[in-house]
């Protein structure tokens, strides 16, 4: 398949590499200089020329809207606009409407799995949009990831991503709180893990991504909290979730509390550039009276 890939950052570049290595004809574009093992274009519009599939991996909804306005008029008839960015639901739906009006397919397909998943081709895609466009993109999802779930109409991929990450952010916080409490009660961290990971408190945050160094499977905690998923990205996703909750008139007090804690951690407590599980040393250093 002839593919244009716009946004060759930490996630986009390895995803595009996997497509090229699978035999697809990939042309990339990024505003920054990138050392890519496939051709790159001088502009986004040049990159999409003749492409059957245009994939974007961009930082936010405003940039997505700007890029969409630029490239949609240059896209080939019947091509599919596949956005893998994590953005607000409203931007995803606006871009899909713009693409559909131009006779193009449109999919919003944010990912889970982080940089490691992008490099290893083990991402999970949460996909919103037309079924026919999903079927056309399915072989690419199979190359870049291990699973793609069609979640329904345009915007539903983003909805699934932010709901998932609201759960993840909240469960990581309470997992870190529980370890800090266990420490102060004199409970050994390994014993804590052995009980919780096989009891009703088990979760992905505990069992697969334990925030306590030396406990459970290898995780960023074992590498001084070098990010697998950065705290500032969790803050971004929780902020998107809270904006969506406001727009949908949904009551999400735990999600809001998690957003506020990550905001304080990132903006006021040196959390930028650390893994989102670095909440554990943050809680371990605090006392009961601190808010």
User: 189: closest CA among 202, 179, 177?
Assistant: 179
User: 172: closest CA among 229, 236, 224?
Assistant: 229
**In this structure, are residues 127 and 151 in contact, taking their beta carbons and an 8 Å threshold?**
yes
107/111 Cα distance (integer angstroms) = 12
2 is catalytic: no
139/145 Cα distance (integer angstroms) = 10
String of DSSP letters for 30-58: -SS----SS-B-SSHHHHTTT-SEEEE--
Extract the tokens encoding 233.
Answer: 């990205």
Dihedrals φ, ψ of 146, to 5°?
Answer: -105, -15
Give the residue carrying structure tokens 């996909």: 127
Which one is catalytic: 17, 136, 161, 236?
161
Give SS3 for 195: helix
Extract the tokens encoding 171.
Answer: 């469960």
Question: What is the 8-class DSSP label of residue 278?
Answer: G
- Long-range contacts from 145-152, C-beta under 8 angstroms, 24+ separation: 145/111, 145/113, 145/117, 145/121, 146/121, 146/122, 148/109, 148/124, 149/124, 149/125, 151/126, 151/127, 152/128
Give the residue carrying structure tokens 């969506």: 244
Active site residue ranges: 161
């Amino acid at each position: 398949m002839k593919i244009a890939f716009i946004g060759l950052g930490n996630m986009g570049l390895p995803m595009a590499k996997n497509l090229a290595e699978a035999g697809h004809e990939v042309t990339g574009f990024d505003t920054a200089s990138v050392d890519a093992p496939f051709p790159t274009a001088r502009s986004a519009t040049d990159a999409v020329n003749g492409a059957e599939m245009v994939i974007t991996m961009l930082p936010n909804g405003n940039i997505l809207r700007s890029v969409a306005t630029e490239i949609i008029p240059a896209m080939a008839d019947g091509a599919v606009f596949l956005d893998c960015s994590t953005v607000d639901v409203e931007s995803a739906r606006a871009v899909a409407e713009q693409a559909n009006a131009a006779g193009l397919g449109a999919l919003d397909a944010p990912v889970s799995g982080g940089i490691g998943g992008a490099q290893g081709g083990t991402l999970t895609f949460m996909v919103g949009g037309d079924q026919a466009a999903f079927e056309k993109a399915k072989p690419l999802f199979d190359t870049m990831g291990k699973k793609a779930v069609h979640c329904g109409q345009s915007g539903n991929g983003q909805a699934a991503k932010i709901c998932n990450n609201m759960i993840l952010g909240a469960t990581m916080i309470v997992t870190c709180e529980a370890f800090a409490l266990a420490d102060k009660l004199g409970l050994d961290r390994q014993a804590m893990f052995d009980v919780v990971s096989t009891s009703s408190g088990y979760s992905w945050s505990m069992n697969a991504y334990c925030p306590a160094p030396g406990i459970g499977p290898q995780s960023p905690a074992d590498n001084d909290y070098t990010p697998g998923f950065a705290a500032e990205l969790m803050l971004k996703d929780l902020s998107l979730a809270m904006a969506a909750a406001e727009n949908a008139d949904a009551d999400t007090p735990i999600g809001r509390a998690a957003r506020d804690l990550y905001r304080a951690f990132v903006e006021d407590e040196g959390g930028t550039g650390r893994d989102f599980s670095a909440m554990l040393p943050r809680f371990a250093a605090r006392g009961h009276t601190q808010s």
